[in-house]
């Protein structure tokens, strides 16, 4: 998907195009469960699944109206040679491979407490139920919508610095869940997490799309996804142990602090500071 967006969006509004993609994703996350619940209540689960399947065909039909410029396909090459070229290009750009490696660790610290500790924080600390849990998730979604509007309308010159500042704010937001475990404050922290996630993701996608040749973009995006999520499954295991040892609130503080701390060295790397 990351590789397809530049085929559909003119280069001068690429950042806005990524923002629109994020907007559609967040609207789906917010409105989809509501619409799905209504359909299940009115027509039952089988009809809901049938309409879900039909939505894919509708998306395909709408995409057929797109008229991207025709491009000559690259010369064919053996699969392993193509894979090797993707890895070689990724490791030729210090800002690219450094960010991928850093986020292999950051994603452990960031998503670990959100996956494991949040339900326990809601139940045992906030004394809430599923409705409060859902409301916190909605606050994240609203923050992501806000971030999409903010970043989509602004031209960012120092994109490397900006995206890491957003990532630091995301870490502070996660820490905020545990620093003041009160419902109004956690709603604010959730909003901060959402807006920061959007800010980082839009700028990161735009940086990759602008600096990677189109014929390599799909492969480099795959390396990015593989590398940055490689250690993420360890997050729930690590933070399950932390929750047992220090409680869910403190686990959030640790996860958020580690996330922010891991971002700081990136700001000292020249290729990231100079990335435009």
Does residue 271 contact residue 133 with C-beta atoms inside 8 Å? no
C-alpha span between 16 and 203 (Å, rounded): 10
35 lies in some domain: no
Pick the closest to residue 22 from 197, 185, 253, 170 (CA basis).
Answer: 197
5 lies in some domain: no
A 10 A CB-CB count for 244 gives 10
Containing structural domain, residue 266: 79-273
Length of the chain, please? 276
Q: Which two tokens stand for residue 170?
A: 């995301």
* pTM attached to this predicted model: 0.82
CATH number at residue 232: 1.20.1250.20
14 lies in some domain: no
204 lies in some domain: yes
Task: Enumerate residue ranges in the chain where pLDDT < 50.
Answer: none
The per-residue pLDDT for 249 is 94
153 lies in some domain: yes
Residue 135 CA to its chain's centroid (Å):
19
Q: Which two tokens stand for residue 202?
A: 């839009």
Domain count, the chain: 1
The per-residue pLDDT for 228 is 92
The per-residue pLDDT for 176 is 94
Mean pLDDT rounded to a whole number for the chain: 88
Pick the closest to residue 105 from 270, 222, 234 (CA basis).
Answer: 234
66 lies in some domain: no
48 lies in some domain: no
Question: What's the pLDDT tens digit per position in 97-141?
Answer: 999 999 999 999 999 999 999 999 999 999 988 788 888 888 888
**Residues with Cβ within 8 Å of residue 121, at least 6 apart in sequence:** 177, 178, 181, 248, 249, 252
Using alpha carbons only, give the angle 248, 166, 276 rounded to the nearest 5 degrees. Answer: 155
236 lies in some domain: yes
The per-residue pLDDT for 111 is 92
The per-residue pLDDT for 38 is 83
């Amino acid at each position: 998907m990351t590789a397809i967006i530049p085929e559909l969006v003119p280069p001068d509004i690429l950042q806005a195009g990524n923002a629109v993609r994020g907007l559609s994703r967040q609207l789906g996350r917010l409105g989809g469960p509501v619409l799905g619940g209504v359909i299940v209540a009115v027509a039952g689960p089988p009809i809901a699944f049938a309409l879900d399947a039909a939505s894919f065909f509708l998306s395909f039909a709408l995409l057929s109206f797109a008229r991207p410029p025709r491009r000559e396909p690259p010369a064919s090459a053996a699969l392993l040679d193509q894979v090797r070229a993707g890895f070689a290009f990724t490791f030729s750009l210090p800002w690219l491979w450094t960010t991928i490696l850093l986020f292999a660790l950051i994603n452990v610290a960031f998503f670990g407490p959100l996956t494991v500790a949040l339900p326990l924080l809601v139940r045992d600390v906030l004394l809430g139920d599923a409705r409060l849990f859902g409301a916190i998730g909605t606050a994240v979604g609203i923050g992501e919508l806000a971030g999409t509007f903010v970043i989509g309308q602004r031209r960012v010159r120092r994109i490397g610095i900006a995206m890491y500042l957003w990532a630091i704010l995301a870490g502070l937001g996660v820490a905020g869940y545990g620093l003041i475990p009160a419902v109004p404050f956690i709603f604010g922290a959730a909003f901060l997490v959402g807006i920061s996630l959007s800010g980082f993701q839009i700028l990161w996608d735009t940086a990759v799309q602008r600096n990677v040749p189109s014929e390599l973009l799909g492969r480099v995006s795959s390396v990015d996804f593989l590398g940055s999520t490689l250690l993420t499954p360890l997050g729930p295991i690590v933070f399950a142990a932390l929750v047992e040892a220090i409680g869910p609130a403190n686990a959030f503080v640790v996860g958020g602090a580690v996330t922010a701390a891991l971002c700081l060295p990136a700001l000292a790397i020249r290729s990231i500071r100079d990335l435009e």
